[in-house]
Structure 1
Amino acid sequence: MDAAARILIVDDNEDNRFTLTRRLQKIGYRQLETAINGREALEKMMSRPFDLVLLDIMMPEVDGYQVLETVKKDVRLRHIPVIMISAADQLESVVKCIEFGAEDFLPKPFNATLLKARVSASLEKKRLRDQEEAHRIQIIAEQKRTDELLHAILPATAVRELKETGAVRPRNYEAVGILFCDIVGFTAYCDRNLPETVVGHLQALIEAFEALVERHRMEKIKTIGDAFMATSGLLRPVEAPLLTAVRCGLEMSRVAGTMAPNWEVRIGLHVGPVVAGIVGKHQFLFDVWGDTVNIAARLVEHGTPGSVVMTNAAWREIRSDCDARSLGTLNVKGKGPLELVEAFAVH
């Protein structure tokens, strides 16, 4: 028995209210309230929670039928079980009430054993329903959290494919823009500042970068330390993947300079074919591979803040839309001599 259950007794007959109150008190229920008609009952139900309502059918002003109908139509009240109070000759009306959603009925005159059994059963059913609803809400919250974690790990289109098919199929992609960005002097900055300061500033910067990537319809792939990697034209089509990445990169460099501690970043870009898919089991990751990725990653170290570095061959594809200056032929680790340019403006 739930002694803390809040029970509302609704009956226009004072003797009935008194009898039910006394018998429920003897059983052990302590939080009991009464109402003399349906209007008062509804006012009380609207103002505070109840676990059970004992409701007479025949009452002045607002009768039991009207109260029951109102309760079952109201999303705030319809979870409350209602036991109808009836005289022996009202059985047909009771059946009608149960069809409309009443939990049970109590015949007059009141039998103490039957009263205890039906009140206890109704409260137990409500407890189980409340428990089930709490479990449902918990499942929804866990599903939402899972979705949030998936979106933190995977691009949105990959999440959709994973949900629809149970997997993200590895694929070859052509003409994908690859952007790498890292922070100038980040290691020295870490040595000079508290961990909370470092993480707070880095978090703000990464969030700003993620917003820019989303605005340019690119995809964030991952962060590695202070390095940020994104793609253009991989999972979401864009008209000019490399030019889109240049625009995004220049804006990232500009925004970084406005954020504490006035970051400076280097950005390297390349465009070409890649392979993409998910690797890992317990901590899986959506990633991209290929020579295009390697070149973009190696170009970062040759950049200067405020511009983005790419090969001369890549720049020639977008030269009518992009201003750049030559860096000459430089030795790029793992690739040998390459003619590089750094773009500083997009028309």
Structure 2
Amino acid sequence: MNNGGGNLLIVDDNKVNRLLLSRNVELLGHNATLAENGRIALERLRADKFDLLLLDIEMPEMDGFEVLEAIKGDADLRDLPVIVTSSVEGLDNIVRCIALGAEDYLPKPVNQTLLKARLTSCLDKKRLQDEQKELLRRFAASEVAQDLQQSGFSIGGRRVNASVLFCDIRGFTGLSENLPPEETIELLNVYYTLMFEAISSHGGIVTLMIGDGLMAVFGAPQPLDNTAQSAVSAAREMIEMIEVLNVDRLAGESPAIKVGIGIATGEVVAGYAGTDQRATYTCVGNTVNRAARLEAHTKVAECALLIDEGTRAALDGQTVLNAISGVHLKGFADPIDVYSVTI
């Protein structure tokens, strides 16, 4: 919003009404854009960002009711506040507008004092919604934010096929003991910046961070064509980024760091866990446990990246693998075959 004012779209097929309402809006400190019918209004709403819509009902080509229905069915527009300004009388019409998502209904001719009050109220609510969306974008992955916008929030999960990745810094406890707290935090910030970039660029989301460790999932909440390939590609990029980082660290006489990564592919239960007051998006199941154990086993196998059979089966033939047969992972009764990935 500009200088405390809002960017408003005024839709009315009557030119005089459009110009008068535009003048009133601008006198109240807002910017006004005009449209002469509902079809043009929707085109402008999808092309530019507006804070509020002032909408007439009786218009050619596409009337106000049809505009309200279109906005309600559009995930990108449904939060836009709409105030209906119309000469159409009758309680049924007012109720229909409100049911279709309108914030308010002002009869024509529009009273300037009432208009000011309604605009202030709606724009304040819009500012709050925008702030909440910004917080969501800052503290949740874009895929989770999109899932919340499309499906809403509810505690629970659903079964999906996904690839799960665990990663941590080798020997981080000993490393951090020899660093001032400020340098430890800076190292973690740099590390997470690189890891998040590699993971998100291949369609994954980070669902958990504990100290120097993280968990990421590929294939939930948004599906991917090949979750295993995406996860392995992300892991290889993560390791390559750490190698580049180490060049700078060694040049600055800081110790190099190494990471261990485990990836498993299969069915997980993904969704929102916690309470209505505090929840997080995560996934659980044997696939998750197997990925965590594979990451821990990288220390034993002395390699940077281990994957399970489910991941290997989905990879293209160009990935170089070394099979390790009969590995006993903690918490699993039967031994499994795992594979180290050549970077």
Which region of structure 1 is more displaced relative to structure 2, 217-226 or 316-325? 316-325
State the AA in 1 paired with 2:289: N
Shift of 1:335: 1.1
Question: Is the 1:219–1:232 contact (alpha carbons within 8 Å) kept by the matching residues of 2?
Answer: yes
Task: State TM-score, norm by structure 2.
Answer: 0.57
Question: Is the 2:164–2:265 contact (alpha carbons within 8 Å) kept by the matching residues of 1?
Answer: yes
Q: Which residue in 1 is equivalent to 2:180?
A: 194
1:298 aligns with 2:296: no
1:279 aligns with 2:266: no
Shift of 1:188: 1.2
**What are the residue-to-residue correspondences of 1:38-187 with 2, within 5 Å?**
78-79=27-28, 139-168=125-154, 170-174=157-161, 176-187=162-173
Q: Please list the CA deviations of residues 10-63 of structure 1 after superposition, one character each: whole Å capped at 9, or x if unmatched.
A: xxxxxxxxxxxxxxxxxxxxxxxxxxxxxxxxxxxxxxxxxxxxxxxxxxxxxx
2:262 to 260, 268, 271: 268
Q: Please list the CA deviations of residues 145-202 of structure 1 after superposition, one character each: whole Å capped at 9, or x if unmatched.
A: 422332345443432343344324621102x111111111111122111222211221
State the AA in 2 paired with 1:300: E
Shift of 1:258: 2.5
Question: Which is higher, the Rg of structure 1 or of structure 2?
Answer: 1
Please give the alpha-carbon distance, in whole angstroms, between the structure 1 residues aligned to 2:167 and 2:222.
21
Q: Which residue in 2 is equivalent to 1:234?
A: 220
- Go from structure 1 to structure 2 and tell me whether the alpha carbon gap of 1:255 and 1:159 turns closer, same or farther (over 3 Å shift): same
- Go from structure 1 to structure 2 and tell me whether the alpha carbon gap of 1:185 and 1:138 turns closer, same or farther (over 3 Å shift): farther
1:288 aligns with 2:283: yes
State the AA in 2 paired with 1:171: R
Q: Which residue in 1 is equivalent to 2:341?
A: 343
Q: Please list the CA deviations of residues 86-112 of structure 1 after superposition, one character each: whole Å capped at 9, or x if unmatched.
A: xxxxxxxxxxxxxxxxxxxxxxxxxxx
State the AA in 1 paired with 2:194: A
Task: State TM-score, norm by structure 1.
Answer: 0.57
Question: Is the 2:263–2:294 contact (alpha carbons within 8 Å) kept by the matching residues of 1?
Answer: yes
2:197 to 211, 214, 217: 211
Report the secondary structure of 1:236's partner residue.
coil
For structure 1, the 5+ residue unaligned runs are: 1-68, 81-124
Report the secondary structure of 1:181's partner residue.
strand
Please give the alpha-carbon distance, in whole angstroms, between the structure 2 residues aligned to 1:306 and 1:146.
43
Question: Is the 2:264–2:310 contact (alpha carbons within 8 Å) kept by the matching residues of 1?
Answer: no
Shift of 1:256: 2.0
State the AA in 2 paired with 1:333: K
- Go from structure 1 to structure 2 and tell me whether the alpha carbon gap of 1:315 and 1:149 turns closer, same or farther (over 3 Å shift): same
Report the secondary structure of 1:208's partner residue.
helix
Question: Is the 1:250–1:306 contact (alpha carbons within 8 Å) kept by the matching residues of 2?
Answer: no
Shift of 1:233: 1.8
Shift of 1:288: 0.3
Number of residue equivalences: 229
**What are the residue-to-residue correspondences of 1:288-327 with 2, within 5 Å?**
288-303=283-298, 307-312=304-309, 314-318=311-315, 320-327=317-324
Shift of 1:319: 6.1
2:208 to 222, 233, 240: 222
Q: Which residue in 1 is equivalent to 2:36?
A: none
State the AA in 1 paired with 2:336: L
State the AA in 2 paired with 1:296: A
Shift of 1:74: 11
- Go from structure 1 to structure 2 and tell me whether the alpha carbon gap of 1:279 and 1:322 turns closer, same or farther (over 3 Å shift): same
Q: Please list the CA deviations of residues 306-328 of structure 1 after superposition, one character each: whole Å capped at 9, or x if unmatched.
A: 74101246424426131012334
Indicate the percent of aligned positions where both proteins have the same amino acid: 23
Please give the alpha-carbon distance, in whole angstroms, between the structure 1 residues aligned to 2:125 and 2:181.
35
Question: Is the 1:153–1:286 contact (alpha carbons within 8 Å) kept by the matching residues of 2?
Answer: no
- Go from structure 1 to structure 2 and tell me whether the alpha carbon gap of 1:339 and 1:165 turns closer, same or farther (over 3 Å shift): closer
Question: Is the 2:324–2:338 contact (alpha carbons within 8 Å) kept by the matching residues of 1?
Answer: yes
Please give the alpha-carbon distance, in whole angstroms, between the structure 2 residues aligned to 1:283 and 1:313.
33
Question: Is the 2:266–2:310 contact (alpha carbons within 8 Å) kept by the matching residues of 1?
Answer: no
Q: Please list the CA deviations of residues 194-244 of structure 1 after superposition, one character each: whole Å capped at 9, or x if unmatched.
A: 222211221122122222222111222121221111111222232221111
- Go from structure 1 to structure 2 and tell me whether the alpha carbon gap of 1:272 and 1:152 turns closer, same or farther (over 3 Å shift): farther
- Go from structure 1 to structure 2 and tell me whether the alpha carbon gap of 1:298 and 1:306 turns closer, same or farther (over 3 Å shift): closer
